[in-house]
A and B are shown apart, each in its own frame.
Chain A
């Protein structure tokens, strides 16, 4: 199975900060990488697919980059509604696997 390692596991940031989360795959996955946002008690929300393509309706403050084994999710200007847990996922090979999550908290 492909292991997905996210870092950091948690971070504290202020409104307006630029935040970057990284995700590393244990083997190359081309650009078959997605990012999801999950808030407490809610279903995950799909943000990015294909490493850098925004899902419909997702604001442009979210951006993704990377290919192969190393990927990043950037939130350009953190807003109160962005405090949540973020997960990466590879969908290049079965079983699809997720990173352990990054909890973004208010500083």
Chain B
């Protein structure tokens, strides 16, 4: 069965960087894109970007351009999301979400990771 297992909670100081990992299993890793979505306390869901695990190409939301980097390691079926220059507003639960076959044009989200809480506090 498809599983996305994320790394644990992190506490970071303002200005620092954080890296969240998402290990996929139960399917062919390079066949599906992976998205990242976050939910800040009291807020709704926010899309951050997507990575194509086949070649590593990425598309980021304009809001995060210059601060977010998504990468992948095909040998371990793991995607990574690094967010830099952290501020208090980045405190949120970050989710990886499988979305859309690489071979197709659809971007339907189906399986979600369990979420990783990132707290930014001095």
The answer to whether A94 touches B59 (Cβ under 8 A) is yes
CB distance from B39 to the nearest CB of A (A): 8
The answer to whether B59 touches A43 (Cβ under 8 A) is no
B95 within 8 A of A: yes
Q: Is the interface of B mostly helix, strand, loop or mixed?
A: strand
Please indicate the chain A residues that have their CB under 8 angstroms from the CB of B47 in the complex: 89, 95-98
Beta-carbon contacts under 8 Å, B25-53 to A:
35, 37, 39, 44-47
Of the candidate stretches B8-16, B67-75, B79-87, B103-111, the one touching chain A is B103-111
The answer to whether A44 touches B110 (Cβ under 8 A) is no
Question: What total of chain A residues lie within 8 Å of the partner, measured CB to CB?
Answer: 22
Q: Which residues of A contact B (CB under 8 A)?
A: 32, 34, 36, 38, 43-46, 49-50, 55, 87, 89, 91, 94-101
- List 27 A–B pairs whose Cβ atoms lie within 8 Å, in order of A's numbering: A32-B107, A36-B109, A38-B39, A43-B113, A43-B115, A44-B37, A44-B45, A45-B112, A46-B110, A46-B111, A46-B112, A49-B108, A49-B109, A49-B110, A55-B110, A87-B44, A87-B45, A89-B109, A91-B99, A91-B107, A91-B109, A95-B47, A95-B63, A97-B47, A98-B44, A98-B45, A98-B47
Q: Which residues of B contact A (CB under 8 A)?
A: 35, 37, 39, 44-47, 59, 61-63, 95, 99, 106-115
